């Protein structure tokens, strides 16, 4: 009786450990890049991402509207013909420049579309990392109604 109880305790302890280990790997598989998202200026973010001075490239296409009526919802898409493994969307005049970053495993097309907030009219940057090198495309989006303030 005692023996059984003991082994039961032992097993539940092991399962508990396994569960917590599993949780950790799910939550931290991609550690959120706090420094990059808190970078205030374009240069800060470029530096943190390791893209000191990305070249403008015609291989990178940034799909964004010329004029966004509502800065709270601006559709932005990145497409590239490069073999991209990372992509990032930056807004120059937002309080924090980096809006989103994507990691593209092999087999996934270098194509991402999402929607972002813009506080005011600003240049939007699409960054693409391919073969260890960053390239970018820039487009100015005019905002008639800001999406960051209250």
Question: Which residues would be at the binding site for another protein (CB under 8 A)?
Answer: 26-27, 29-30, 32-33, 37, 72-75, 77, 91, 94-96, 98-105, 107-109, 111-119, 147-150
Label residue 103 exposed, middle or buried (CB < 10 Å: 0-12, 13-18, 19+).
exposed
* Alpha-carbon gap, residue 89 to 97, rounded angstroms: 8
We find the least distance from the C-beta atom of residue 17 to another protein, in angstroms, to be: 20
We find the least distance from the C-beta atom of residue 6 to another protein, in angstroms, to be: 34
118 contacts 148 by C-beta, under 8 angstroms: yes
Q: Which is nearer to another protein, 25 or 58 (CB)?
A: 25
Neighbouring-strand partners of residue 63: 77
Q: Which is nearer to another protein, 33 or 142 (CB)?
A: 33
Q: Which is nearer to another protein, 6 or 115 (CB)?
A: 115
**In the numeric block, which tokens belong to residue 94?**
């937002």
């Amino acid at each position: 009786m005692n023996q059984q109880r003991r082994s039961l305790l032992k097993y539940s302890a092991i399962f508990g450990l396994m569960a917590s280990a599993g949780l950790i790997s799910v939550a931290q598989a991609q550690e959120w890049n706090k420094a990059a998202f808190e970078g205030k200026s374009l240069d800060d973010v470029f530096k943190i991402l390791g893209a000191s001075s990305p070249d403008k490239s015609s291989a990178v296409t940034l799909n964004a509207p010329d004029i966004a009526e509502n800065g709270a919802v601006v559709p932005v898409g990145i497409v590239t013909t490069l073999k991209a493994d990372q992509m990032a969307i930056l807004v120059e005049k937002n309080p924090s420049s980096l809006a989103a970053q994507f990691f593209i495993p092999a087999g996934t097309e270098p194509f991402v579309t999402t929607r972002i907030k813009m506080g005011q009219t600003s240049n939007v940057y699409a960054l693409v990392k391919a073969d260890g090198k960053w390239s970018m495309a820039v487009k100015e989006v005019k905002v008639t109604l800001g999406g960051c303030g209250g």
